[in-house]
A and B are shown apart, each in its own frame.
Chain A
């Protein structure tokens, strides 16, 4: 693993933003041109999940299953076991939560070639509130045998991931987001199972994924002003986790904080904790995320601020830890 060089911050370009779900829709439509065996399902949220982009180009290969996520999982399995490459989408709360048992029984057990791409995950779904803020999906999906779990950091990585998982024969769960987030500069493309150092440092390793990658990058800038040199590791694949790189950055920095818009139980944080323990790497570790509570309503920005999951909150969390 080679650390990428620090980004040149002397002349920052204007930061372009895009939601990863938008990239998903675009990439899915592109994939439809290459893969005639691709079939896409949605559960009445195609406008929001962006599968509608595919549906417009390929109406004969798009099926709206209606508000019936369990049945969508079953249909996805039936189509996949008949030879189709299946992508199915809904909000993460329903795609992973409501449909968990059919996913286990019909997709994971059979190793069916189904890609569950779940949008509107995490706190950043915002105003919809606690019922829609899926903060447990990574836990639910990580635990399933055969299931890979992916959380791309930005829209470009999402596009690459959509294409990459099409090449894998078996189930994948990919989380994309509602909120527009920065398109990161110098972000390596996606490779399943590989975590990338997106900013080098030696005082603390911030291991993160999804929308929190951009927040951790900004937090690292804030910490640099305080003389704290933070490394940021983008763990876009939660499962299988890149154990070698996780161990490497932990040893390099001697201290790790995981950052995720997910419960700290069962998500990236515990995946990293387990990996480090099994690698025999004993460094101070702090899991930062949702600490056993549900969210609340409000704009994503306010929620990230409230739960200390924006750049300032993450930086403050690091500083208080180092000071304690």
Chain B
């Protein structure tokens, strides 16, 4: 596919009200997906809903009818365990039918427990081993720079992932090569599997660290849509260096019993919990947990 024979992907620039609705829809998807699978990571994706909505429905130039367009923006979910958010986003953006989300983590499905390149249109990279995705994002940004392509590279990373070494190798290289087309969004929720990051292995002020590496760092409320939109515009405006959006988030956001609770980092809700979550999120039939029903994904 050549850019000369097809329309370049464009950003949707949806309204704030639309993006809020997108975020709510994603949260309901996540609850149904993880409950259907009876395993997985529900809370992290809930905390990423606004970030993902703003990226795919406002910021990024992607086109589900041309998923391999060379000029497309790329997204890598470096904290790959939060892929329920990515799968929901891609479905809602039109890369594949939303009812397929019920197959999350099921045997024989395309929805692996961590993103797998080639399994689904729109997946740009296999991730799951923390630290690898941000590094590949750097390589993609370098490739776009070599080619003089307008494509921008986005990745979500996390505070837990920042305990790995490889992200800091990337932080050095991306600054060295002035990868102004690279934007990382830090899902800074203070929680990892074993507990609170400050107790497990305190990563300190991650934003300050990136700034010290030579990045533009913008601290934002990761649930405040206008702030995310503005910060992404600032990132675009600085062509000389990569940008970190240090997004302060609450894990489990939107579901009262999950908010800021480490236990739900990697544990699926039971039936009762799923019903409560769906009710809190305004699902029209929260008691119906037969997730195979297409209506649950279309209403």
Q: A: which residues have CB within 8 A of B?
A: 39, 60-61, 63, 65-66, 68, 70-71, 73-84, 101-102, 105-106, 109-110
Contacts and interface: CB of A to CB of B under 8 A. Distances in A.
15 contacts: A71-B170, A74-B132, A75-B173, A77-B125, A78-B139, A78-B143, A79-B140, A81-B117, A81-B139, A82-B139, A84-B143, A101-B129, A102-B132, A102-B135, A110-B126
Given A70-B169, A71-B166, A101-B129, A106 B142 contact: no
Contacts of A66: 169, 172-173, 176
B70 interface: yes
B146 A61 contact: yes
A71 B179 CA distance: 15
Interface residues of B, number: 33
Contacts of A76: 139
A78 B137 contact: yes
Given A74-B132, A102-B166, A109-B116, A79 B126 contact: no
Given A78-B135, A106-B125, A60 B173 contact: no
A74 B125 CA distance: 11
Main secondary structure of the interface of A (DSSP, over half): helix
A80 B118 CA distance: 15
Given A101-B132, A110-B126, 19 more contacts: A39-B143, A63-B142, A65-B169, A70-B131, A70-B135, A71-B172, A75-B138, A75-B139, A75-B173, A77-B136, A78-B135, A79-B146, A81-B136, A83-B143, A101-B129, A105-B126, A105-B129, A106-B125, A109-B116
B244 interface: no
Interface string B119-139: 000001111110110111111
A60 to B, nearest CB: 7
Contacts of B135: 70-71, 73-75, 77-78, 102, 106
A282 to B, nearest CB: 40
A82 B129 contact: no
A82 B139 CA distance: 9
Given A74-B135, A105-B132, A68 B143 contact: no
B125 A81 contact: yes
B293 to A, nearest CB: 34
A5 B14 CA distance: 74
Contact of A106 (B136, B141, B144): B136
Contacts of A70: 131, 135, 165-166, 169
B177 interface: yes
